[in-house]
Amino acid sequence: EVQLQASGGGSVQAGGSLRLSCAASGVTRDAITIGWFRQAPGSGREGVSAFRKWDAVTYYADSVKDRFTITFDSAKNTAYLQMNSLRPEDTGLYYCAFDIGHITYTRMLDEDEYHFWGHGTQVTVSS
């Protein structure tokens, strides 16, 4: 059974940086896709970034392009989300998700494509 543990959230001022981690256990296949999602208070969950391992393709929401970077350490089975130039609108509960298999590029930020979810880690950005 795949289990995910997200960490690294915190409180920062606008312009600051945070790095989120998502450690996966029970992953026995290489064909995986990792996604980061967030949910702001009173809003639905939105896709932030995703990484498809088999071809190292990344996908970013327009709102975070050029500020966030997703990476994956295969040796540690851990995904990271480096978040720079943080803005108050980046505030939310951040979730990581894995899926075993190939997710079509255009659907990499679709939460319905992911079957394994970690608990959220809170990110708060103050102005």
13: three-class secondary structure by DSSP: strand
The per-residue pLDDT for range 41-90, each reduced to its tens digit, is 899 999 999 999 989 999 999 999 999 999 999 999 999 999 999 999 99
Q: What is the 3-state secondary structure (H, E, C) of 18-63?
A: EEEEEEEECCCCCCEEEEEEEECCCCCEEEEEEEECCCCEEEECCC
Which range has the worst mean pLDDT, 23-37, 56-70, 74-88, 113-127? Answer: 23-37
Q: Which of 4-13, 32-41, 97-106 has the least mean pLDDT?
A: 97-106
Q: Which of 19, 7, 1, 37 is nearest to 116 (CA)?
A: 1
